[in-house]
Every structure is written in structure tokens, then in C-alpha cells.
Structure 1
Amino acid sequence: MNSRLAQRQAQGRFRRIRDLHMISSTCGYDRQGRRYLLFNTNDYLGLSHHPLVQAAARRAVTDGCGAGGSRLLAGAPFILRELEEELADFKGTEAALLFSTGYMANVGVLSALPQAGDVIFSDALNHASIIDGCRMSRARTVVYAHMDMDDLEKKLQHESGGRRYIVTDGVFSMDGHVCPLPALVRLKQTYGAVLLVDDAHGLGVLGKSGRGTAEYFACHDVDIHIGTLSKSLGALGGYVAASEAICRYLQNESRPFIFSTALPPAVAAAALTALRLLRAQGASYVAQIRDHIAYMCRQVPTISQRQPPVPVLPILTGSSAAAMQYAAACAEAGLLVSAVRPPTVPEGTARLRITVTAGHTPDELRRGADILNEQGEKATWKQ
């Protein structure tokens, strides 16, 4: 272990946890009392600190701090079923099923639904949870080039046998790319495949009312929507929104659902309140975050993904060492951004991953842009 850790250190891939006490959805301070502005959070709408969301969580604590066991074994608080019903209605499906995390939702679906003899077609840049779910599946996995519909179609034509599953991120979390959903739906229909879209980074961000990638493209023939409660909804947990039959099947066959403790009542109450805020004010939230994304793209010329409305804004550095140095310089100036390195991204594509949210104030956006530009201009790794 020590040898492997030393190798990671030498490669600039060693990771550390930074402890923070959050003051708001965009600011926090460390154990030494130093305050930071955050541009590294996926709390896209700033709802984790919304007064109504926090009040709902406090009220629900009276139902217990934990759920006490898995839902099939110990039952569950009423609010979990209410959350599932409202998620299904929001996503336009018959039913929804909650998982402990978005990661477990992907693993839970892909390890349970595809069977031996089936084939999963997975985008090359899909999230780690999709990759792990494919590895745990009894089906065979075929990887197609990132968002390359010609490559996907060739592979669909070549593969025969059992059922076909196409799985993709709705928004790719490291690049900010939005999947070509209309083309994916066309291929799904042509080749009789089942289409799964992980919209963890699309909910609350894309579409007129924040319903995600399908609403953004006005393209709703998606069989299984997978998502999270931990990003735009500011809480914790994952969900699957699909037909009644699929959700009931997962309830009986998906090991991550069957053998995991249910979400605590306070977490579910926070997520449900955040979802209701999104339903009531979705257009306003979407417009606000789009304005903030556009501002940062104008002010920081090194941002490589310049196609709003996605709040994932990478600044490519190439090497891991360069990404670490840039992020450290920003932190020294009071700005926290994520240095993303292999194996999370391909070799030679290390980057800063900047996330803007609806919760950032105009002053915070200006300060963040100024620090990124200042530290980028004088960075020693450029020399």
C-alpha cells in the first residue's frame, strides 16, 4: 500500500480530504478558520442552505435520525414514498425508486436488469458508477467512442443476441458535454434497445423548468432515468424513475436497494422540499444559473467548454502537476476549485473543474473570475 501511495504521490495523483464548515452553499472555512469561496460544489441551485429546505430537515428529525434498516426489512418513513411519487411525476414516469446514493442507483440498475446474453453499450466517458455497474452486470459491455453516434450504430449493428441496453450520462460531469439525446433515441428505436440516461448533472439545470436532458431536447422516449438528490436538490440519495414494472423489479432484484438502509427522514424531507421549490420556481432557477454560466465564460477566457447552459466549466492544464499547482494557487487566494486528474479523466487532459451555481452572488462570481485569471496568468507551470 505504501509503495502504491508513493507512486500516486510522484504522479501528482495523491488525494487528500479538506475539512470545511459550510457557512452557505458557496462559502466555508477550514479548521484553521480560513474562509474560502467555493467553485467546486455540485449544489447547483444552492438549495442545501435554503431556509425552507433546512427547516423541513429539522422537523423531520422528530421521526428519528436514521431509518433503522432496509425498507424491505424495517419499513420506512412515509416521506420516502411521497418523495418517490413526486420524483416520478416530475420526470414524467409511472414510478420511482430511491437508492442510498446516485452511485448505488447506477450500480443497482445495471447489476440487476441486464442478464447473461444481453449487451450494454456504454459511452467511453460515462461516470465511474456506470462503469462499475457494467462490470458487475452479467451482460457483456461494449464501449462506444464518446458521443460518437456512428460508432454506436456500427456496434449496435454488429451485436446480436439478447436485449440491448444503451447507457449514457445526460451531462458528462468532467467536460460539461450534453449527450446527443435525439440521436440516441433514434438508435434505441431503430435497434429495439433500452435507453438509460444518468441525469445527475442535468436535473435542475437543463430544460425550461429544470426537468433535465429530456426536457432540454423535448425528447422523452427514455426508458430509465437515473439521478441524484445530492446535486441540484442539495440533499443525499439516488433515484430511478421508470415504469412501474421496472421499479418493482428493482425493488425485488437490485442488491444495493435490498441490502441498504433506507434514507433518513430528514434527508428525504430536505430533498422533497427542494424538489417542490424546483417545481414551483424551475424557470427562474434555470435562467439564473444560465446567466451565471454565461458570465463566467465571458470573464475567464481559458474555460474550454464555452457552450452554456451546463455549469461544469473545465480549464485544461494537461499535466496533473499543473492542475495541482493551479488549484493550490487559487486556494492560497481564497478560492476552492477541483483539480481533476487521471484516472478520472484521460491521460494528458488534467484540468481545473469549475462549477458555478445559482447560489453565487454577483460579487462572488466577479471574485472567482478574477482569481482564476490572476493565478492563471502568473502560474509557473506555464513557463
Structure 2
Amino acid sequence: MSFDQLEAALQERRTAHLYRRRRLLESPQGPEVSVDGQNCLAFCSNDYLGLANHPALKQAMIEGVERFGVGGGASHLVMGHSSAHHELEEALAEWTGRPRALLFSTGYMANLGVINALLDKQDAVFEDRLNHASLLDGGLLSGARFQRYLHNDAASLKQRLDKSDARRKLVVTDGVFSMDGDIADLPELARTSREAGAWLMVDDAHGMGVLGQTGAGCVEQFGLSQSDVPVLMGTLGKGFGTAGAFVAGSEALIETLIQFARSYIYTTSMPPAVAWATLASLKLVREESWRREKLQALIQRFRSGAQQLGYELMASETPIQPIMIGDAAEAMRLSEGLETRGLFVSAIRPPTVPAGSSRLRVTLSATHSEQQVDRLLAALDELRGGVA
């Protein structure tokens, strides 16, 4: 069997300026990094609070390895559920104001596990058109009737819910949309779901740590309860600076996931030292509100500067600040131009985003300085004039 067909498909992607390549990070995460041997200023990490290389987390990881070893050794239901995992689950449940929380190795696994544990072909799932790939994949794999409503549009959702006679109805949305940076209208989505007898699931991967008084995300920011959002998922590899994910909810929900979520049952637990380090991270997330305050100030500084330069920004109040470009080749030109100036910003192109909506995805961190944001704006100003 020849792989010529595969090579042809790869060449098509190269020709369309859609080819992706991995970059080699040779330093810890931070505003200043070494990528492919080049020192540069990075604006493309999801380390929103600047915790991925924090001394307290590194020390906690070392302590965790000394206490629990390196590997989880087994699945949670065999012999891999350590006291580090258990203590983190209890802390996350308390933080989110829910009876229970359950750890998963990744956010992707959490989303696949939850949707497939709750639904089958008798049921229906309703998803925002711009949901993360893991949510869309989870819905498609569940066998439930899969429907997509217009982005952040409760009226569009209601029309679809009203026509459904499914046994169970699950509404699924991101809290903060990862490519646009906007926040879901959770109060209206919760009301619409409740009136239709549906459950609302929120993937708050990009809101956890960043939004809310204690950093507990979109649900906290909107003052919503567990009855409003019965299924809450958060990741730990972004605002928390570690790795993994969790689902928080009722006793019945968590026990159902333990019994039926295949991506939880049939995989080795995350390294317990990661859970131990995440406990240290949670303490910083809760107590160091200055990180969120500084982040908001940097967001406003960047938005003001970029708009003055004439760039088209999307409606985002979060650290995700996409600059809409449209053409994939032009997005790549700008990204490469920034890189030659020592600035690393990713060009996001189809199929990650719809055709004609390629963009520069600028992400900010609490560890960026005002001067570094100004340096990015100065480079964007040069490139706006067509300078290579």
C-alpha cells in the first residue's frame, strides 16, 4: 500500500498555507522563552496566571515525587487513586461549591467521558457551533442525536430544544471560547436549558483561574449555582499551570462518571505529583487576586493600542485577544513578521477556525509587563504598514 495519497493531502495543506508544524520549546513557559533556538517574547501560551514555572509549584512537584513517586501505576479504580488525587478532588469540589469533583488526565478525556457516560442513542445533545473539538467529538461519538445551535444564541438553542422529545437532553457550551475569547451567555443558556428540562454542561477550560472573584471561572462570575450548571468541567493546564482536568457536580453525577465514563475507567491516573503540585497552584489561584487584576489591566492596554492601530479585534474581555485577519496567507505573513522581530504569536487558520476567518491569536499572561505589551504593539504597527 502506497502513502502517495497521504502525501498529496499534505501538499494541498502546504499550498493553502494551512500546514502546521511543531515548534521546539527549549525553556520553561514564561513571557520570554527559547523556541527553535531563538530567544523571543511569547504571546501564545495559555499559562494565563504565569504559574507554570512558579517556584511554589516546582517545589510542590518535587515534594510530590518524593512522597508519591512518579507514575500513577494503575487506573483510579484499580490501585492508582492516591491520597494526592483525593485531596485535590476534595479541594476542587469545595472551591467550586459542589459536593464532588473527579479528576481526568486531560480536558479532552473529560469531555469525551462525560458526554458518553450521560447519553446514548435515546438522547439528544445540543452544542454551540464554536465549541471546542473535544466537545463536538464527544457529542458525535455518544450516538445521541447531535444538533448545533447558533453561536451563543439562546433563542436558537430554544428552537431546537422545543422540537426534541429525547429521553435526556444535554446542552453543551464552552465558558470562554478558545479561538474567539468571548464568554458564553450562561445565565440565558441556563434558563433556556432549565425550562426545557435539559442539563447544561460548561467546559470552562479558559475561564478557570482567570474569571470570578476567587478565579472559579464563568459560573462564579455570573453567580450561578449547581442547579443552573449541573455539569462543570475545568482544566488544570492553563490558568493552573499544571496538567489534567476535573468535572465537578452532584454525588449522582460523579458516581455515574466513575461507573460509566470509559476515558476515566480505562486509563492510568495522572502522576500523583502533578495533583500535589496542583494543590499548591489552587492556593495561589484563590489567594493571589492581583494576578487577575493585572491581567485585566494588560488586556485593556493591548485592546486600546491595537484598536488605535486599526486592527480588527474580536469581542473578548479575556486573555484571549484574537486579531481578525481573514486570509490565511496574510495571517502567516504577520506571524512570521512578528517572529523576525523576536515575538512569537500563532496564526490560527482553518480547519481550527472557519474559512476566511484566519487570525493572530494573542494571549496575555499576568507575568507580561506593560513594556512587553507595548513592544508587541510597536511590531504590529510596523507590520500594519506592510513592512516585512
Answering whether residue 298 of structure 2 is matched by residue 296 of structure 1, we say: no
Alignment-derived partner of residue 350 in structure 1: 358
Q: Is the contact made by 1:13 and 1:341 (CA closer than 8 Å) also made in structure 2?
A: yes
Q: CA deviation at 1:138?
A: 2.4
C-alpha deviations, 1:211-264, integer Å up to 9, x for none?
A: 111111112221000110000000110110111111111111111111111111
Q: Is the contact made by 2:180 and 2:316 (CA closer than 8 Å) also made in structure 1?
A: no
Letter in 1 for 2:264: F
Q: Is the contact made by 1:208 and 1:286 (CA closer than 8 Å) also made in structure 2?
A: no
- Measure, in 2, the Cα distance between the counterparts of 1:123 and 1:307: 17
Alignment-derived partner of residue 341 in structure 1: 349
Q: CA deviation at 1:306?
A: 4.7
- Measure, in 2, the Cα distance between the counterparts of 1:143 and 1:125: 9
Name the SS of the counterpart of 1:109 in structure 2: helix
Q: Is the contact made by 2:181 and 2:315 (CA closer than 8 Å) also made in structure 1?
A: no
Q: Pick from 358, 379, 384 the counterpart of residue 371 of structure 1.
A: 379
- Measure, in 2, the Cα distance between the counterparts of 1:286 and 1:87: 19
Alignment-derived partner of residue 287 in structure 1: 293
Alignment-derived partner of residue 46 in structure 1: 50
Quick one: structure 1 residues 379 and 74, their matched pair in 2 at CA, closer, same or farther if it must change by over 3 Å? farther
- Measure, in 2, the Cα distance between the counterparts of 1:169 and 1:11: 29
Q: Pick from 45, 57, 61 the counterpart of residue 61 of structure 2.
A: 57
TM-score with structure 1 length normalisation? 0.95
Alignment-derived partner of residue 305 in structure 1: 314
Q: CA deviation at 1:119?
A: 0.6
Q: Is the contact made by 2:312 and 2:325 (CA closer than 8 Å) also made in structure 1?
A: no
Name the SS of the counterpart of 1:352 in structure 2: strand
Name the SS of the counterpart of 1:21 in structure 2: coil
Q: Is the contact made by 2:84 and 2:273 (CA closer than 8 Å) also made in structure 1?
A: no
Q: Is the contact made by 1:204 and 1:285 (CA closer than 8 Å) also made in structure 2?
A: no
Alignment-derived partner of residue 238 in structure 1: 245
Alignment-derived partner of residue 225 in structure 1: 232
Q: CA deviation at 1:376?
A: 2.9
Quick one: structure 1 residues 10 and 260, their matched pair in 2 at CA, closer, same or farther if it must change by over 3 Å? same
Alignment-derived partner of residue 322 in structure 2: 314
* Range 108-117 or range 297-306, more displaced: 297-306
Q: In the TM superposition, what are the counterparts of 1:56-135 in structure 2 within 5 Å?
A: 56-62=60-66, 63-135=68-140
Quick one: structure 1 residues 7 and 196, their matched pair in 2 at CA, closer, same or farther if it must change by over 3 Å? same
Unaligned runs of 5+ in 2: 1-5
Q: Is the contact made by 2:319 and 2:365 (CA closer than 8 Å) also made in structure 1?
A: yes
C-alpha deviations, 1:15-66, integer Å up to 9, x for none?
A: 100001224522211343x201110000000011111111101111122221
Q: CA deviation at 1:361?
A: 1.9
- Measure, in 2, the Cα distance between the counterparts of 1:174 and 1:143: 17
Q: Is the contact made by 2:177 and 2:206 (CA closer than 8 Å) also made in structure 1?
A: yes
Quick one: structure 1 residues 77 and 376, their matched pair in 2 at CA, closer, same or farther if it must change by over 3 Å? farther
User: Matched residue pairs, number?
Assistant: 377
Alignment-derived partner of residue 3 in structure 2: none
Q: Is the contact made by 2:80 and 2:268 (CA closer than 8 Å) also made in structure 1?
A: no
Q: CA deviation at 1:379?
A: 4.9
* Range 262-271 or range 339-348, more displaced: 262-271
Taking only aligned residues, the RMSD between alpha carbons, in angstroms, comes to 1.3
Paired-residue identity, %: 40
Letter in 1 for 2:41: L
TM-score with structure 2 length normalisation? 0.94
